[in-house]
Amino acid sequence: MIALVCGKIAYKGISSIVVDVNGVGYRVSIPLSTFYELPEAGAVVSLHVHTHVKEDAINLFGFYTIQERDFFQLLISVSGIGPKLGMSIISGIPVLDLMQAISRGDVTKLVSIPGVGRKMAERLILELKEKVVQKMMREQIPAADEREKAGEMIKEDVLSALVNLGYKNNTAKDALDKVMQSSKEELTLDELLKKTLKILAG
C-alpha cells in the first residue's frame, strides 16, 4: 500500500500529476487544493497518498496535507461516495469548512459543493457527524461559532485600542472593516492592529 510519493514532477495537470521516483513515473490524481500548492514541473514534491485498489486497476490519489488525505478516506467510507466524487468534494471546499459544515449539520453549505445534492448532504451529516466532531476535538479544531466569537473579541479589542490612541470610533471601525474584508486568512490581534493603523496613517 503506497502512503507517500516523493520525487520530481514529470508532468503537472489540474487533476493529476506524474511523479518521477527514481526513473519510475507514478500518475497521481489530485484535488484543486493540492494543485494550487504544487511547485512547477521539474521540482521535487511530496504527496500523501491514498491507494485505491480495484479489480482492473490500482489508482493513486495524492494530497498536499495529511488532513486532506485522511478526510478523503473518511468521505469515501460514506455509501454512494467513490473516489471521483470524493476528489470533487475536496476540490470544492476547504477541508476545515467541510468539517465545520458537517459538524453543525449545515445542509445549505454542503449542497453548495459541486456534485452534492440534498440527499447526499444529509447522508454526509448522518454518517460522518459524530466522527467529524470527535476528529475536531482530537485535533483541537474550534467549532465555527467559537471561531466567530474569537474573531469578534479580537475585533473589539483592536477597535478599543484604536479609540484609546485617539481615533474616532467610526473612522477606526471603517478602517478595521476594510482590513478584515481584504484579508483571506485570520489575523492575530497584533497583525490586525498594525494593518489598520497603516490604513489610518495613509
> Residue 44 sits in which domain range?
4-63
Tens digits of residue pLDDT in 11-64: 999 999 999 999 999 999 999 999 999 999 999 999 999 999 988 889 999 999
Tens digits of residue pLDDT in 98-111: 988 898 899 998 99
Residues 6+ apart with CB under 8 A from 17: 9, 10, 11, 27, 28, 30, 38, 45, 62
pTM listed for this prediction: 0.67
| Distance of alpha carbon 76 from alpha carbon 52, whole angstroms | 10
CATH of the domain at 33: 2.40.50.140
Domain boundary at 63, 86, 101, which? 63
Report residue 150's pLDDT band, with 50, 70 and 90 as the boundaries.
low
Same domain (yes/no): 106, 168: no
The pLDDT score that the predictor gives to residue 186 is 67
Domain boundary at 106, 138, 170, which? 138
Same domain (yes/no): 78, 134: yes
72: pLDDT strictly greater than 90: yes
Looking at the 3D structure of the chain, how many domains does it have? 3
